[in-house]
């Protein structure tokens, strides 16, 4: 951004469990394996439209380690991401295809994807939000300096230690974000 330009606000959105339905087995969430299985959650479109109208950039940031593990095809994951971008009018989609052992900067809970988006799109991270349904999502947001909203599905896994808001859906998260922006 040049001198005198204004940084923009964004809402960073995890993919599975935030935008689309996660496949829950034994209390743990998993990504859909095909475009046929990809189902946008109720009221997600309304939430994203309301956030866009309020001037937020919408940036999907998703870990997809099944590609590195060999249990998902990268082209299928990219097709699902593109489908969500098109259907929901997202401004960008960043995806980490690495597994934990790869030690990359982009895998949440590290804030690499958020920092990269901020640099590329001119985003003010301190004026932005991260919405996720797993501890890695909100921790990445916290580390990047964003306000965090945790969609709590009661998964049988580690829970976030520190979040700004616990909600039941992206729709509920969008109401809180819009209320904070326009008290």
CATH number for the domain that contains residue 88: 3.40.50.1000
The domain tally of the chain equals: 1
Question: What pLDDT digit, counting tens, does each position of 169-183 carry?
Answer: 999 999 999 999 876
Structure tokens at 130: 């991260």
Across-strand partners of 28? Answer: 25
Please check whether residue 118 lies inside any domain of the structure: yes
Please check whether residue 4 lies inside any domain of the structure: no
Question: What pLDDT digit, counting tens, does each position of 7-50 carry?
Answer: 999 999 999 999 999 999 999 999 999 999 999 999 999 999 99
Question: In this model, does residue 5 exceed pLDDT 80?
Answer: no
* Average pLDDT over every residue of 113-120: 98
Please check whether residue 112 lies inside any domain of the structure: yes
Please check whether residue 2 lies inside any domain of the structure: no
Instruction: Determine contact, residues 30/144, Cβ cutoff 8 Å.
Output: no
Distance CA 101, CA 106 (A): 13
Q: Is 137 one of the annotated active-site residues of the chain? A: no
Chain centroid to CA 82: how far?
14
Please check whether residue 109 lies inside any domain of the structure: yes
Domain boundaries, position 98: 10-181
Please check whether residue 3 lies inside any domain of the structure: no
Please check whether residue 5 lies inside any domain of the structure: no
Q: Which residue among 14, 66, 133, 137 is the active-site one?
A: 14
Mean pLDDT, the chain, as a whole number?
94
Q: What is the pTM of this model?
A: 0.95
Please check whether residue 1 lies inside any domain of the structure: no
Q: Cα dist. 35→48, 58, 95, 102 in Å?
A: 20, 21, 17, 27
């Amino acid at each position: 951004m040049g001198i005198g330009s204004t940084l923009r606000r964004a809402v960073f959105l995890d993919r599975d469990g935030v935008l689309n339905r996660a496949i829950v087995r034994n209390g743990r969430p998993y990504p859909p394996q095909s475009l046929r299985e990809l189902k946008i959650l109720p009221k997600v479109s309304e939430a994203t439209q309301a956030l866009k109208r309020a001037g937020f950039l919408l940036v999907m940031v998703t870990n997809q380690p099944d590609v590195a593990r060999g249990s998902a095809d990268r082209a299928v994951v990219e097709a699902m991401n593109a489908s969500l971008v098109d259907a929901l009018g997202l401004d960008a989609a960043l995806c980490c295809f690495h597994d934990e052992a790869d030690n990359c900067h982009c895998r949440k809970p590290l804030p690499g994807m958020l920092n990269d988006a901020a640099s590329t799109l001119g985003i003010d991270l301190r004026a932005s939000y991260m919405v996720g349904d797993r501890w890695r999502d909100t921790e990445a947001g916290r580390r990047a300096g964003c306000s965090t909203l945790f969609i709590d599905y009661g998964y049988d896994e580690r829970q976030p230690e520190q979040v700004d808001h616990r909600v039941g859906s992206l729709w509920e998260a969008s109401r809180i974000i819009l209320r904070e922006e326009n008290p």
